[in-house]
Amino acid sequence: MAPTPFNKCVKNGGKIVTKQLKNNKYMHICYDKDGKAYPGEIKTKKKKTTSGWFNKSKKKRVGFEKEKAQVVDLLKLKRYFDEKYRS
């Protein structure tokens, strides 16, 4: 099966532009070096997921755990100095 003209344009280094359409649809258009346009297929936008602290990436949660550990260490240090210098 031969590649579509759009895919051939992309492979040859054409510039991709996204055109917004009605009803949550969009289409990529490839412009080759001569300025000729090759439309791609019409696609539908995906629904966005709910955003909450439970949907954040693991990397961000690890950062939160580090901050929590630092707070615990600071509280231990405070207790140590309170016991040492108040008695």
Q: Is the pLDDT higher at 55 or at 18?
A: 18
Alpha-carbon distance of 18 to 29, in angstroms, equals 6
Alpha-carbon distance of 59 to 32, in angstroms, equals 40
Asked if the model's pLDDT at residue 79 lies above 80, the reply is yes
Residue 70: which H helix or E strand, with range?
helix 58-86
Alpha-carbon distance of 39 to 34, in angstroms, equals 15
Please report which confidence band the pLDDT of residue 62 belongs to, taking 50, 70 and 90 as the band edges.
low
pLDDT of residue 9: 93
Q: In which order are the strands placed within the sheet that holds 25-31?
A: 15-20, 25-31, 37-44
Nearest to 26 by CA among 7, 41, 14: 41
Share of the chain above pLDDT 90, in %: 46
Q: Using a cut of 0.85, tell me whether the model's pTM lies above it.
A: no
